[in-house]
Structure 1
Amino acid sequence: MEVTLLGTGAPAGLPRPDCPCAVCATARGGLARASTALLVDSALLLDLTPGAALAAARAGHSLVGVRQVLLTHPHNGPALDLPAGLPTAGRAPDGRDLTLISGHRVRAVPMDHPGTGYEVASPDGERLLYLPPGGAPAGLAEGLAPYDMVVADVVGRPDALARLRASGAVGATTDVIAAHLDHDVPGGPELTRRLAAAGARAVPDGTTLYVGEYHAVPDVPRRTLVTGGARSGKSVEAERRLETFPDVLYVATGGTREGDADWAERVALHRVRRPGSWRTAETCDLVPLLAADGPPLLIDCLSLWLTDAMDRVDAWDDDRWTAEQRPAQRALRKRVAELVSAVRETTRTVVAVTNETGSGVVPATAAGRRFRDELGRLNAAFADECEQVVLVVAGQALALRG
C-alpha cells in the first residue's frame, strides 16, 4: 500500500498565517507544511490540503483515480478546495465499514475528541491507521494486532501513542509518522530528536511511503540522563521522553517535606504534568527498582538521592569526612558504585534527572563544596552508563551523547 503525504501540518498549516512566533518565522522551504492529507494508492484521499491537485502533481501523482474522499476534521460541511471531478467529501459515521472498488477496506474509528480516525486495509492485508489532529482512539481493547503504519498527532497527543502501545496496536515494527505538525515544536533537528524519543519520525510534504515495507524504527534510548540548572526545564524534558509510554513509574527521590509550601507547590506542578496512567514511588532506594523488571523508570532526581545518601553515611560532618580512615567517603563511594552498577545492569528503560551545580557560585561552606564535588562525580559516572545524555539550558535540550 502506497501512501503519499500531500501535507503534514496542522489544519492551519505551518507557518500559520500572520503568526509572529519564532517557529512560524523559520518554517520556510522544507520546514513549511500544508495541512495534513494522505493519498492512498491513488484511490483514497484522507483529508484535504489547499491545492490538493497541485500537491499531488508535485509528488508525482494524480487525483484522477480517487474514488473516495474522507474527512477526519469535526465538520460535515463542504470541503474547501475540493478539486473538480472528485467525489463529494465527508466523514464516515463511527464504526462504519466501507469497501472501495479498488479493494481497500476502510473502518471509521471513534475518537475521544471531535473528529474521526480511519483504519485502512489494502487488498494485500497491510494496515494503516490515520488519526485526526488532537485525537486519540476511544475504547481500545487490549490484544490488538499491530498496525504496519500509524499516522497521528504525536506531538499534540502523545498519550494517543501510549494508548495504542498499551493495546498492542503499535508494536516494535510499527512505522509511526507524526502529522498535524504545528508551531509547538521547532522543526529540523529538534523535531527529529523529540520524535525519535517517542519512536516516531516526521517526513516532508510530498513524501511517498510504502506501508508494510521495512523501515528502521527510531531507537528509543534505553538509558538517558537529563541534566541542567535550576528551572531550566530538565524535568519537563525528562517527562516528555516517556509520555508516549502507557505505563511509567515516576520515582520521586525528594519524598515529602511537612510545612514546606514551596516544595508542595513544586510537587503539585509535577503531578499535574504527569499522565494519569503513571504511578509514583517516593523512595531513594533505587537499586532494587533498577534490578527488577517492569515499566520505564523516571528518576527525579539524582541530586536529592545524593543528599539522602550523604545523610545516611553522615558525610556532612567535616571530622568524619576527613578522618584518617575516611569512613564517610568510603561509605558514600560504595553507595554511588552500587547505583552505577545497577544502572549498568538494568534491563528497564530509564530516564534520570540531575542538577548541574558546578557552574555557579562556589559554595561558602565545606559541606556545600563537598556536595557539589560529589554530585559532579556521580553525574559523570551515571552518564557513562547512559546511551544518551542531554543538557537543558533555558528550556533548550542539547544532546551531549546519542
Structure 2
Amino acid sequence: MNIELRGIAAPEGWPAHGCRCASCTRLRAAGVRHEPFTAVVDGRPLDDLPRTRIPGGHDVHGPCGGRALVAAAPGAAPEPGDGVEYDAVLLDLVGSPEHLGYLRRVGAATSKTEVMAVHVDHRISSPAELERRMAFWEAPQEGPHRTLLLGGARSGKSAEAELRLAACPEVLYVATGPVNDDDAEWNERVTAHRLRRPAWWRTAETTDLAGVLETATGAVLVDGIGTWLAAAMDEAAAWDDPALVQPLLDDLVAAWRTTRARVVAVSDEVGLSLVPATPSGRAFRDMLGQINRLLAAESEDAALVVAGRVTELA
C-alpha cells in the first residue's frame, strides 16, 4: 500500500490563520506551512476510495487491496474492524498517541503496519517535536532498552515517560511510592497520574524493583527511583549509615543491566537543589546522585526534563 501524504495538518492548516500561539508563530517565522490532511493511495486520492464509516473515522480499501484505518478529524480515535490487520493507520497521534497502543494491543496494527500522523496542529510545538515523538512510537516495542529521565519536582518528567511508552500495546507501570490513605495531597497526585494513563496499562505498587526488572519482558515504566531509594534506606536502616543500602543499589543496577524489558525510569535530579539541612537528607541526596549515575551509565538513553522541555544527554 503506497500512501503519499499531500498534507498532514488539521482543517485550518498549521500554522492556523491568525493564531498567535508559539507553535504557529514559530512556523510562520520560518516560512513553513502544513496544509490540511489529504493523501494519495496507490495513485488515487484517498477521498475517492471505497470506505466504511466507523466510529471515529473510516476503514479505507486501497485500489491494490490494502486497507487503512483513518481518523476522521482531530481528536477522533477510529475503532478497527473485528479481526482486521491494517496495512496503514493514519491517526491523530498528537492528540491520542495511546490509541496506537490500543490498536497494537487488539492486533489491528502490527510491526508491518505503516504508521502516519495526521490532523497535526498547534497542539504540538514544532515539526521537530513531532519527529522526536514518532521515533519513540515507531521504535520496537520490546527490549532490552533502558531510558533514564531526570528532572526536578513538577518538571514534566513523568508525563514524558508516559509519552515515550504511549504507543506500546502492554505497559507495566511500577509505582514505587508509599500508599498512605492519610495523605490527601499525595493521593491526589497518584490519582492524577492514574487518570492520565491508558486504562489497559497494568500497575504494580512495589519496592521490589530489581525483581520486576529481572522478570519483565515488555514495556515497563518506573516512577520513580527516588521513592524506591527512600524505601530501600528504610529497609536497610541506612539513614544513619548510608553504606548499609549499597547491596540493594547493587542489586538494582545488576537487574537494570540485564533486564529484557523496554524500561523508562523517572528519577529526581538532585544536583541543582539546595544542600539539605540534615545529615539524613544529605545522605539521601548523595545516594540518589550515585544511583542516577550508575543507571545512566547502563542506559541506552538518558534525558533531562526542565519545564516540560527535554534535553537528551549524550
- TM-score in terms of structure 2 length: 0.91
Question: What does the per-residue CA deviation read over 1:360-381, in whole Å, with 9 as the maximum and x for residues that have no partner?
Answer: 1111111111111110110011
Indicate yes or no: 2:55 matched with 1:132. Answer: no
Which residue identity does 1:14 align to in structure 2?
W
Change (3 A) 1:377 1:109: farther
Aligned-pair CA distance for 1:140:
4.8
**Structure-1 residue corresponding to 2:137:** 198
| 1:31 shift after superposition | 4.2
Structure 1 Cα separation of the partners of residues 298 and 27 of structure 2 = 37
| Equivalent position of 1:34 in the other structure | 35
Q: Secondary structure at the match of 2:4?
A: strand
The aligned amino acid for 2:23 is V
Structure 1 contact 13–35 (Cα < 8 Å) conserved? yes
> 1:185 offset after TM fit, Å?
1.2
- Equivalent residue number for residue 59 of structure 1: none
Is 2:285 the partner of 1:284? no
Q: Structure 2 matches for 1:229-240, cutoff 5 A?
A: 229-240=152-163
| CA spacing shift, 1:258–1:150, aligned 2, 3 Å | closer
In the alignment, which residue of structure 1 is the partner of 2:195? 272
Q: 1:259 to 1:293 in 2, by over 3 A?
A: closer
Counterpart of 1:371 in structure 2 is: 284
- Cross-structure match for 2:247: 334
Displacement of 1:44: 2.9
**Counterpart pick for 1:170 among 109, 122, 126:** 109
Any idea what SS the aligned residue of 2:46 has? strand
- Counterpart code for 2:54: P
Q: 2: distance between equivalents of 1:391 and 1:196? A: 18
Distance 1:2 1:313, change over 3 A: closer
Q: Residue deviations 1:270-313, cap 9 Å, x none?
A: 11211111121111101221111443111100000000111111
Residue 94 (structure 2) aligns with: 155
Which AA in structure 2 matches 1:273? R
Q: Which runs of 5 or more structure 1 residues have no equivalent in the other structure?
A: 47-67, 71-105, 200-217, 322-327
1-side partners of 2:31 and 2:104: how far apart? 31
User: How far does the alpha carbon of each residue in 1:172-218 deviate from its partner, in whole angstroms, 9 at most, with x for none?
Assistant: 2322111111111112332211121111xxxxxxxxxxxxxxxxxx4
Counting only pairs closer than 5 Å after superposition, residues 195-274 of structure 1 correspond to structure 2 as 195-199=134-138, 218=139, 222-274=145-197
Q: CA deviation at 1:160?
A: 2.0
CA distance in structure 2 between the aligned counterparts of 1:288 and 1:351, rounded to whole angstroms:
16
Q: Secondary structure at the match of 2:158?
A: helix
In the other structure, the counterpart of 1:381 is 294
* Alignment match of 1:305 (pick from 213, 224, 228): 228
Structure having greater relative contact order (Cα 8 Å, sep ≥ 6): 2
- 1:8 and 2:8 matched: yes
Query: Structure 2, unaligned stretches of length 5 or more?
Result: none
Alpha-carbon separation, structure 2, partners of 1:235 and 1:278:
15
Number of equivalenced pairs = 310
Percent identical pairs in the alignment equals: 43
* Contact 2:59–2:80, Cα closer than 8 Å, also in 1: no
SS of the residue aligned with 2:5? strand
User: For the aligned residues, what is the CA RMSD?
Assistant: 2.0
